[in-house]
Amino acid sequence: MQAQSELRNLPPVLREMVTRGRPEYERAIRGVHWGDAAIYVVTSARSLPAGLAAACAFEDLLGCVAAVREASSFLAYSLGALRTGSMVILISDEDPKVLEAAKAATQRGAQVLAVARAASPVSAAATRLFPLPEVAGSPAAGITEACLQHVAAGYLALLTAKLLKRPHRLLERLEKEWNAIPDHLDSITNHLVDVVRATAAALRPSFATFWVGDGYYHAAAEGAAGLAQRRGSCPSLGSDLAHFRCDLLPNLSQASGVVFLSGSQSRTRKAVAELAREAKARGANVLCITGSNDHDLIREAHSTLLIPDLAELPASVLSLTVAGWMARELATAPRDARVPRGRAAVSAPQKPSGRVG
């Protein structure tokens, strides 16, 4: 129940971010010159999934090139490419290598925007701050931290796109769905307790678990794999579709568990369904987290956790939350709490309760 208790505190924090926090976020974005140069997203090893989400969102919503670098790699190979006015986005709090990267980029005249807590050393070294909220009692390596970084990365790109490309009908629709995320999370936390626990128990006997997605869902898959690995459960690995198809799929067996993250509006949902079919044919225990209209993937999975049908960016936040919750339960679920390999689909309510602040 620890994971569920942690997740109950998340919706109010997200409501605060999209209401009272928005003016500060917009000031940070307006304080940066967004030119045509490539954007560097620099992360710690733990915040790399959020970096992947940021890069995907900037490329998708603004059509600009975004390169993700772990801080050590950035310092070793990318500093020479920086020019005065280059854009560097940092996602981390306490990692000393990220702090070193912030100082080095600033010295080279780059614009450094930190996605971090206001009191962190990284924030002090940056030229602009996109602040992460403080959540009392939240572990630094927990679901809340992973979700907040993913949300901040997506929100940064969404607000930047709105400020630079307004007015835009698709962005207005995306923002409306984005603002509904806290209500959807409330519904998920209240209604999926038993099925998340049972699905995690079904994965627990696996020798290894693979979390697979593409684009935004790849970022969520990497985040879930990191949470599972840090909890000390069975070996867990996040992967995109290409890596899974070429390097992991040939080695699957009945001792493997595969969780596919996708959505009804995913642009790669057909490719995901094909991979799920091949994984099932090799005897793997195939589960998926997706929307109710993703019929092909649901048909191929042994068990399905349904999330609301949203655009890819907000849906990836919900996917990360459910997958991270499952990952946390993997280490604590009782061994006899297993579900058979039949088709089981459980849906979060499509109409969230309450109103968005």
Q: So what's the pLDDT on residue 42?
A: 98
pLDDT tens, position by position, 179-217: 999 999 999 998 888 889 888 888 888 889 999 999 999
138 — pLDDT class (breaks 50, 70, 90): low
From 108, 169, 132, select the one nearest 14 (Cα to Cα).
Answer: 132
Question: CB neighbours of 215 closer than 8 A, spacing ≥ 6?
Answer: 56, 60, 266, 267, 268, 312, 316
CB atoms within 10 A of CB 162: 18
165 — pLDDT class (breaks 50, 70, 90): confident
Rounded Cα distance, 294 and 69, in Å: 33
Number of H helices, E strands in the chain: 16, 11
Mean pLDDT of all residues belonging to the chain: 89
pLDDT tens, position by position, 247-261: 999 999 999 999 999
Mean pLDDT lowest among 99-108, 272-281, 314-323, 339-348: 339-348
Q: So what's the pLDDT on residue 338?
A: 38
Domain limits, the chain: 2-179, 187-347
The tokens describing 316, both together, are 């990836």
Say which CATH superfamily domain 187-347 falls into.
Glucose-6-phosphate isomerase like protein; domain 1 (3.40.50.10490)
Q: So what's the pLDDT on residue 331?
A: 65
From 260, 256, 356, select the one nearest 301 (Cα to Cα).
Answer: 260
Contacts by residues 113-120 (CB-CB < 8 Å, ≥ 24 positions apart): 113/28, 113/32, 113/87, 113/88, 113/89, 113/156, 114/89, 114/90, 115/50, 115/54, 115/89, 115/90, 115/91, 115/149, 115/152, 115/153, 115/156, 116/90, 116/91, 116/92, 117/93, 120/93, 120/94
354 — pLDDT class (breaks 50, 70, 90): very low
The strand pairing partners of 41, in sequence order, are 68, 89
pLDDT tens, position by position, 24-65: 999 999 999 998 888 999 999 999 999 999 999 999 999 999
Answer CATH for 2-179 from 3.30.1780.10, 3.40.50.10490, 3.30.360.10, 3.30.1280.10: 3.40.50.10490
From 145, 79, 134, 65, select the one nearest 112 (Cα to Cα).
Answer: 79
Rounded Cα distance, 13 and 117, in Å: 14
pLDDT at 107 over 90: yes
Rounded Cα distance, 41 and 68, in Å: 5
From 277, 285, 293, 272, select the one nearest 221 (Cα to Cα).
Answer: 272
Rounded Cα distance, 284 and 294, in Å: 20
Rounded Cα distance, 322 and 317, in Å: 9
Q: So what's the pLDDT on residue 346?
A: 42
Assess whether the previous peptide bond of 167 is cis (omega < 30° from 0): yes
Handedness of CA 199, 2, 350, 261 (dihedral sign): negative
* Domains 2-179 and 187-347 in one fold: yes
Q: So what's the pLDDT on residue 336?
A: 42
Q: So what's the pLDDT on residue 229?
A: 86
Q: So what's the pLDDT on residue 7?
A: 86
From 151, 63, 157, 76, select the one nearest 113 (Cα to Cα).
Answer: 157
238 — pLDDT class (breaks 50, 70, 90): very high
Q: So what's the pLDDT on residue 137?
A: 62
Q: So what's the pLDDT on residue 36?
A: 80
**Stretch 116-125: mean pLDDT, rounded?**
93
At residue 307, the 3 state secondary structure works out as strand
339 — pLDDT class (breaks 50, 70, 90): very low
Q: So what's the pLDDT on residue 357?
A: 28
Q: What angle do CA 202, 203, 205 make, to 5 degrees?
A: 90
Q: So what's the pLDDT on residue 202?
A: 85
